[in-house]
Chains A and B, each alone.
Chain A
């Protein structure tokens, strides 16, 4: 199957710091999505990107769809304790007239140190 390389695997930061994470692929994707998962919960959609070069914000979160369509970035500004969790990128490549489902990265575990 398609592979998404998400990095970093984990981040230990201080409250108030900015955070950056990214996903890369060897394949072209038509859609990039970013999710956050809290312990014991399902992933929750943060940002959806549909066009190459697109830059979209959701509060303190900003995500970009790479020009090559093979990567995406998520930035979190001025982190707060509730930002703790696992962040997943997901991409979709529509082929053969139907969707094959989202391909997920392995996640970035964000830990905020007091």
Chain B
């Protein structure tokens, strides 16, 4: 059982470049999330989705866009990368708003130079 899979695992971007991070889950979870983790800051919610075709902003959404075209996939896009977006990005999913236990992927380490 793969759980939550993130691709790529590592990426280096130049300022202004764009990229998309892919998250896939095979647990039939309704809810999916994108977090970023920075030293001393814990995990901060970027965007989340409560179901296929829906997305919502989290705590730090600026500079990111997301899409949930299929229930099992949640994409995070950076249209014009900035050095401040250097971080480790985690995708997570949970079954519902009642069963809120979130399962995480292994992370994507992104460096913007």
- Residues in A lying within 8 Å of B, measured CB to CB: 1, 6, 31, 33, 35, 40-45, 48, 88, 90, 92, 94, 98-107
Contacts and interface: CB of A to CB of B under 8 A. Distances in A.
Interface of B: 4, 31, 33, 35, 40-45, 48, 50, 56, 58-59, 90, 92, 94, 97, 100-107
B101 A99 contact: no
A48 B50 contact: no
Contact of A42 (B45, B48, B101, B105): B105
Contacts of A40: 106-107
A21 to B, nearest CB: 14
A43 B104 contact: yes
8 contacts: A35-B104, A42-B4, A42-B90, A42-B106, A43-B90, A99-B100, A102-B92, A104-B44
A101 B4 CA distance: 16
A105 B42 contact: yes
Given A98-B56, A99-B50, A44 B100 contact: no
Given A99-B94, A106-B42, 11 more contacts: A33-B101, A42-B90, A42-B104, A48-B100, A88-B43, A94-B97, A100-B58, A101-B35, A102-B33, A102-B102, A104-B43
A43 to B, nearest CB: 5
Contact of A45 (B42, B58, B101, B107): B101
A44 B31 CA distance: 17
